[in-house]
Amino acid sequence: QVQLVESGGGLVQAGGSLRLSCVASGRTLSTYTMGWFRQAPGKEREFVARINWNGGSTYYADSVKGRFTISRDTAKNTVYLQMNSLKPEDTAVYYCAQGKGIVTIKYDYWGQGTQVTVSS
């Protein structure tokens, strides 16, 4: 089993920054992908960013490209989401997830989520 624990959420003014962290424990694999998702009230969960654990390649949703940066610290089994130039529409619960796949990634493990609120 894999456990994912997010932290770093909070209240921030528009234009500000936050860094989210996700610590993985348990039976983690070096071949997996780590992703960040978010869900706003009344909306479906949406993809934000992902990173390949081995190679470090990244991919971002268009809505956050240029503002958010996903990274990982292999020694700490931790993935980060640096969020800059935050907008009120970024307000959501942010979830960390671990998945595997070649063409389509299936996310099997999820964290509990951390609230990010951006005031206008």
The pLDDT score that the predictor gives to residue 106 is: 93
> What CA–CA distances, in Å, run from 10 to 13, 16, 61, 114?
10, 11, 22, 8
Tell me what percent of the residues of the chain surpass a pLDDT of 70.
98
pLDDT for 13-47, tens place per residue?
999 999 999 999 987 767 799 999 999 999 999 99
pLDDT for 46-67, tens place per residue?
999 999 998 899 999 999 999 9
The pLDDT score that the predictor gives to residue 27 is: 74
